[in-house]
Amino acid sequence: QLQLQESGPGLVKPSETLSLTCTVSGFSISSYNYLWAWIRQPPGKGLEWIGSVSYSGNTYYTPSLQSRVTISLDTSKNHVSLKLSSVTAADTAVYYCGRRTQDSSGYYYVDYWGRGTLVTVSS
Amino acid sequence: IVLTQSPGTLSLSPGERATLSCRASQILTSTYLAWYQQRPGQVPRLLIYGASRRATGIPDRFSGSGSGTDFTLAISRLEPEDFAVYYCQQYGSSPPTFGGGTKVEIK
């Protein structure tokens, strides 16, 4: 059964780099035609797309975060990683990882979500 | 693509029908529209993808419809566990974007 679990520091200082890992179990992250995404949700607010990485390592980031974000795969550990640099209080959020599956028209939707991890940016 | 959900809050009683709207700022050239449910303190759950396809295990009281710029999620008879926040998302145009959410609350 597919499970995703985010992990990483719950508190990050302003200007530092946020680093999170999504451990995937029950499914190989290098499986053909699946993508992996990071999404965040500030406390009490809506969902914001961060970016996505394909099974082959190709990435796409949302433009507003592109200069600060890196998403990568570690196939040896079956992990998906997120790094967000130069964080501010505005980056405080619950961070989710998710699996993207292709629909019949060839587009990728998120069908599985991790439990999420709260990251607070504060000194 | 900006997605605008309405109403912001829907106050209904159990057993009533709920109709939620999601309007896109540009035409979606295919049906790459999904709906997610988020109960308080929980993870978003996929309800609908491809505008009208129910995800695995989703009850048939949930239905999605629409095309172009206007999409709808309908819940035929509200159960107590359906009171939650619902988000639409377009996932075919980069970057994928979410609507601001509609809260369905008990009247």
Give burial (CB, 10 Å; 0-12/13-18/19+) of B93: middle
* Partners of residue A47 in chain B, C-beta under 8 Å: 36, 44, 87, 89, 98, 101
Position A60 scores a pLDDT of 96
Best to test chain A binding among B9, B28, B49, B87 (most A CBs inside 10 Å) = B49
Neighbouring C-beta atoms of residue B30, cutoff 10 Å: 17
Cβ neighbours of residue A58 closer than 8 Å, sequence gap 6 or more: none
As a residue count, chain A comes to: 123
Position A9 scores a pLDDT of 97
Query: What are B4-18's pLDDT values in tens digits?
Result: 999 999 999 999 999
**Contact (CB, 8 A) for B73 and B52:** no
What average pLDDT does range B78-87 have in this prediction?
97
What average pLDDT does range A41-59 have in this prediction?
95
* Partners of residue B99 in chain A, C-beta under 8 Å: 46
Bridge partners of A83, per DSSP, are: A19, A70
What average pLDDT does range B20-49 have in this prediction?
96
Structure tokens at B32: 């790459």
